[in-house]
Copies of this chain bind each other. A is one copy, B any other.
Amino acid sequence: MGDLHRGRQSFVFDRHPAILATSAIGGKKEQEGPLTAYFDYTDLDTKFKQKTWEKAESTMQALALESAKKKLRLKDDDIDLLLAGDLLNQCISSSYSVRDTGVPFLGLYGACSTMAEGLCLAGMSVNGGYVRTAGVISSSHFASAERQYRFPLGYGGQRTPTAQWTVTGAACALLGHREKGPFLNAATIGAVMDYGIKDANNMGAAMAPAAYHTLRAHFDDLGLTPSDYDLIVTGDLGMVGKEILLDLFRKDGISIGGVYDDCGTMIFDLQKQDVHAGGSGCGCGSVVLCGYLLSLMKKGKYKNILFCGTGALHSPTSLQQSESIPGVCHAVSIGMERR
């Protein structure tokens, strides 16, 4: 067993866990967006036939797990470990979605970085031989998030230009060993970065520095450059955070513009869908990765992508107590070939 640790923050997956199957579930606005064809299921009923938005979000997670399992004809018993997280207080979408599965479960809180965090940990667990098949699930729901973080929707509050629209979506990725890619090749775990942003309607600015530091660490630790990837994609920086990240790299004299994009600017039509700075939430990066991007990888459009989950680690309480908003970002290197 070798030393897989690289540099300060990174490690390699020497046995290259494969992404066996993924799924993406979305709501009405996601169905109306440009990536509609890449969802396994979307529902025009934002409550997914449940009584509350919280139960709807849990239902989306369960649907995501079902869809992914179906593609591999797996039963719950075939999955050794599930890691899941969401934005709701005490991560109830996740705990309630898995309670009838009987699958060993570890809950995560990485805010919108949850899918990347889960891939790092599930990747470790499969790569190391602790489990054979591991799954990651994450979700967010516009209505449950607005009620919890900002205002109940009934108030009809105004949104600022830097505000992002929480994606109603859930995604699942199942990992295991297989000869065919996509494979997890390496990962970089981010530290919490706090640049003093206090505006809960400008998450992009709060998270961009974390994305910058994680990307720099990834390249430094593993001796890579942006051109080693066909696509470097952040989870949900939106228009504002995306520009800040490009600026931060420009100051270093490094151009990532040619291969860089952000899931928050891809999932909605920013001109027509009135989402201001773009999409956000645990569901944003995860459905774009698990629905759209991995589909394009399998079709040959991308050989290597670096998926960078970005999260803002505040709460309404921390903001009321005058705290700033810390960000975090974890990066997972996914390739159609082992490298």
The chain A residues found within 8 Å of chain B, CB to CB, are 1-5, 8-9, 11, 14-15, 51-52, 54-55, 80-81, 85, 87-92, 94-96, 98-111, 117, 120-121, 124-125, 127-132, 189-194, 313-318, 321, 323, 326, 328, 330
A52 to B: closest C-beta gap in Å: 5
Chain B residues whose CB sits within 8 angstroms of the CB of A103 once the complex forms: 191
B15 close to A317 (CB less than 8 A): no
In the bound complex, how far is the Cα of B95 from the Cα of A110, in angstroms?
9
Chain B residues whose CB sits within 8 angstroms of the CB of A96 once the complex forms: 313, 318, 323, 326
In the bound complex, how far is the Cα of B125 from the Cα of A50, in angstroms?
39
Instruction: State whether A88 and B315 are in contact (beta carbons under 8 Å apart), knowing that A117-B106, A190-B104 are contacts in the complex.
Output: yes
Q: Which residue of B lies closest to A127 (CB)?
A: B128
B90 close to A314 (CB less than 8 A): yes
B129 close to A54 (CB less than 8 A): no
A209 to B: closest C-beta gap in Å: 12
Chain B residues whose CB sits within 8 angstroms of the CB of A80 once the complex forms: 5, 8-9
Instruction: State whether A101 and B4 are in contact (beta carbons under 8 Å apart), knowing that A88-B315, A89-B315, A316-B89 are contacts in the complex.
Output: no
A98 close to B11 (CB less than 8 A): no
A89 close to B128 (CB less than 8 A): no
A55 close to B2 (CB less than 8 A): no
B95, B102, B328: which contacts A326 (Cβ < 8 A)?
A: B95
B89, B127, B189, B323: which contacts A317 (Cβ < 8 A)?
A: B89
B106, B108, B130, B316: which contacts A4 (Cβ < 8 A)?
A: B130
Chain B residues whose CB sits within 8 angstroms of the CB of A321 once the complex forms: 51-52, 54-55
In the bound complex, how far is the Cα of B321 from the Cα of A88, in angstroms?
14
Chain B residues whose CB sits within 8 angstroms of the CB of A105 once the complex forms: 189-192, 328
B4, B89, B117, B132: which contacts A89 (Cβ < 8 A)?
A: B89
Given A92-B318, A105-B190, A106-B189, 7 additional A-B pairs, CB 8 A: A1-B1, A54-B321, A89-B317, A90-B111, A91-B109, A107-B108, A107-B117
